[in-house]
């Protein structure tokens, strides 16, 4: 379905991992969507799948490899950027980190594997593994990223309705009951 600008939904299926750390260096895998939008260093992220919170990015001159994680906000449902004409909405089916470090850009942290504590709260390295038959490898993640471009003010409806489809899809279920030699089939929408 196309909106008034002629754009529809874009879906990108992702699968990342296992992240190699044989070289002794942890890694962060991110994706970046760039536009020509003038967003005034402002972006919006969801608050645990509920309302969207306005965030203003500040970037210090000092940059270190783990600094990207410090500038990311937790995103459970989605984020968006806007200028005076357009909105770019990004919806997710799994939690990720996200930010907008540069005007017109949306950056998503897809996966991380670190061999040291990054000091962000878990007090241990982010080196989760899955083991089978005495062999352990890093985790592989998969999910979907959905993008949509709308005219200013039109994106909220899509984010709310599409967010419901992602997290609360209809579940079609059938049950059988036999009542006095009559088969009754019930349809349940959950």
Residue by residue, pLDDT tens for the chain (190 residues) are 444 444 567 888 899 989 999 999 989 899 999 999 999 889 999 987 678 989 887 665 555 444 455 677 889 999 999 999 999 999 998 889 899 988 899 999 998 888 888 777 778 888 888 888 888 888 999 999 999 999 998 998 988 888 888 877 777 777 776 666 655 556 555 5
For residues 113 and 127, what is the distance between their CA atoms, to the nearest angstrom? 5
Q: Could you tell me the end-to-end alpha-carbon distance of the chain, in angstroms, rounded to an integer?
A: 26
The C-alpha atoms of residue 33 and residue 22 are separated, in whole angstroms, by: 29
Q: 10-189: which CATH topology? A: Beta-galactosidase; Chain A, domain 5 (2.70.98)
In this structure, what DSSP letter does residue 139 have? Answer: -
Domain ranges of the chain: 10-189
The answer to whether the CB of 57 falls within 8 A of the CB of 43 is: yes
Helix/strand/coil percent split, the chain, to 5: 10, 45, 45
């Amino acid at each position: 379905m196309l909106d008034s600008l002629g754009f529809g939904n874009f879906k990108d299926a992702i699968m990342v991992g296992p992240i190699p750390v044989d070289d002794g260096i942890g890694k962060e895998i991110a994706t970046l969507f760039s536009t020509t939008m003038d967003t005034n260093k402002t972006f919006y992220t969801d608050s645990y799948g509920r309302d969207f919170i306005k965030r203003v990015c500040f970037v210090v001159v000092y940059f270190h490899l783990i600094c990207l994680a410090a500038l990311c906000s937790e995103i459970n449902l989605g984020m968006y950027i806007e200028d005076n004409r357009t909105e770019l909405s990004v919806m997710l089916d799994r939690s990720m980190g996200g930010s907008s470090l540069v005007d017109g850009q949306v950056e998503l942290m897809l996966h991380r594997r670190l061999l040291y504590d990054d000091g962000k709260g878990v007090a241990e390295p982010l080196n989760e593994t899955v083991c089978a038959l005495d062999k352990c490898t890093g985790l592989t993640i998969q999910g979907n990223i959905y993008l949509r471009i709308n005219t200013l003010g039109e994106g909220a409806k899509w984010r709310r309705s599409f967010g419901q489809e992602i997290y609360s899809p209809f579940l079609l279920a059938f049950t059988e009951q036999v009542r006095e030699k009559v088969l009754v089939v019930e349809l349940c929408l959950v």
